[in-house]
Amino acid sequence: MVTNHPEETSPGFSTRSVHAGEPHENPYGGVTIPIVQTATYTFPNSAALEQFMRARASQARVNYQEYGRYGNPTVRSVEEKLAALDEGEDAILVSSGMAAVTLTLLLLLQPGDHLIVTADTYRRTREFCRTFLQRWGVRVTVVTPGDYKAMENAIGADTRYIFSETPTNPFLYTLDLERLVEMAHAKGVRTIIDSTLATPYNLKPLTYGVDLVLHSVTKYLAGHNDLLAGAIIGSEELITPLRDIQTIFGAIVDPEEAYLILRGLKTLELRVARQNESAFEIARFLDAHPRVHRVWYPGLPSHPDHEVARRQMHGFGGVVTFEIAGTGEDARRFVDALRIPRIAPSFGGVESLVEQPVLMSYYDVEPEIRQAAGISDQLVRLSVGIEDLDDLLADLEQALAQL
């Protein structure tokens, strides 16, 4: 990071989110980094080209590239910012959260390897493990999050990685990272955490010894419900081969989108701090409401992982999951009566979003599987945006009053 005060070695979170990865001097004296909108790069002459190729072949860091799929300054700026925020050595920005998941697992696993995944990771991640990875000869075991004994028992001589989210979606189960890492590393197994729901403001898994962190940048990091991207953050040793495979798979982000991510990241703390605060108040309000049967929010003492979350997280996040007291039809009427949150999948943006999982992500899932996952007809997931808390509370109150 370039600052006016190079002696300051550990700037605060928002200082990093504004300045990390940003050159101190930009073309034309601009404050902000330009969107370097180019597909390819020119060389002034053959000698310069040869010098560049020699530097790249010797793994030296080069500050320009030959072709857009191999790198872009605007994209690189996002990567450096993401690495600084999650306290990793390096990061790569990829085309979606799913690209982050699939690239990582495809590179790290080989036929004959074993992977342990927790049961309520994002549905498409589990689908990728169950179908694609198994077809390619990777053994996959799914364990219940929080069942550390089952996880330990599942570790065999062929186990390479444990993959989990924390908090999970939609029930916000929170994995004890200290315990997970200690158990895995003792047996030579590496850990990967999809930290999308937490954000680096609320949790930095790498500081607990986790080997790789993934994010769907689509959610809180970009934060405005207007683009899709993903990120992988970790040591240079793990990130460098991932960057190489990314250039082959082509799962890159274009410079305009990268600029929007940079812009979103600058307000990450402001947005997430507000979302933490509002979601906590909303969880308390819903918990006390007679028309609400149950609330899952890690900030509430009633959440099974409250103690872990309290110890491990800076804030409890912006998603609140709850069951309406009544039927699935009641939950539907409640969702339809809301005026501020829009009915949509996804979470983490400035706009509040609401969904009944049974009508959205679990719509085409067998009822038995849905039930086993705890997804009832009355379940509602609310992603709290940055609107005024009083307006959100009044809206929830009026919608509940209609039941």
Ligand X SMILES: Cc1ncc(COP(=O)(O)O)c(C=O)c1O
Shorter beta-carbon distance to ligand X: residue 165 or 269: 165
Which residue pairs from 30-39 have beta carbons closer than 8 angstroms and sit at least 24 positions apart in sequence? 32/262, 33/73, 33/74, 33/77, 33/259, 33/262, 34/74, 35/74, 35/255, 35/256, 35/258, 35/259, 36/72, 36/73, 36/74, 36/255, 37/255, 37/256, 38/68, 38/72, 38/255, 39/67, 39/68
- Residue for token pair 């065999």: 156
Q: Which of 122, 161, 208, 220 is catalytic?
A: 122
219 has catalytic annotation: yes
Which residues are at the interface with ligand X (CB under 6 A)? 96-98, 122, 165, 169, 194, 196-197, 216, 218, 228, 230
Shortest Å distance, C-beta 100 to ligand X = 7
284 has catalytic annotation: no
Q: Are 286 and 322 in contact (CB under 8 A)?
A: yes
Shortest Å distance, C-beta 197 to ligand X = 6
Shorter beta-carbon distance to ligand X: residue 22 or 165: 165
Mapped onto helix, strand or coil, the DSSP state of residue 360 is: coil
For residue 229, CA distances in Å to 32, 160, 276 come to 21, 26, 23
100 burial level (CB within 10 Å; 0-12, 13-18, 19+): buried
- Residue for token pair 């982000």: 253
Shorter beta-carbon distance to ligand X: residue 198 or 283: 198
Shortest Å distance, C-beta 158 to ligand X = 26
From the list 15, 14, 18, the residue with the least C-alpha distance to 262 is 18
Report how far residue 140's alpha carbon sits from residue 113's, in angstroms, rounded to the nearest whole number.
9
Shortest Å distance, C-beta 47 to ligand X = 43
Q: Which of 16, 204, 219, 243 is catalytic?
A: 219
Q: Which of 69, 284, 291, 294 is catalytic?
A: 69
Shorter beta-carbon distance to ligand X: residue 284 or 342: 342
Residue nearest ligand X, CB atom distance: 97
Q: Are 146 and 173 in contact (CB under 8 A)?
A: yes
Show the 3-state SS of 62-98.
CCCCCEHHHCCHHHHHHHHHHHHHHCCCEEEEECCHH
The tally of CA atoms less than 13 A away on the side-chain side of residue 221 is 33
Report how far residue 388's alpha carbon sits from residue 403's, in angstroms, rounded to the nearest whole number.
24
266 has catalytic annotation: no
From the list 27, 23, 61, 184, the residue with the least C-alpha distance to 114 is 184
- Residue for token pair 């997931």: 381
Shortest Å distance, C-beta 266 to ligand X = 20
Q: Which of 90, 113, 176, 194 is catalytic?
A: 194
For the record, the structure tokens of 15 come out as 């200082």
Shortest Å distance, C-beta 305 to ligand X = 16
The partner residues of 353 in beta bridges, in order of sequence, read: 342, 383
Shorter beta-carbon distance to ligand X: residue 21 or 97: 97
Shorter beta-carbon distance to ligand X: residue 22 or 120: 120
362 has catalytic annotation: no
Shortest Å distance, C-beta 133 to ligand X = 16
Shorter beta-carbon distance to ligand X: residue 35 or 228: 228
Query: Which residues carry out catalysis?
Result: 69, 122, 194, 219
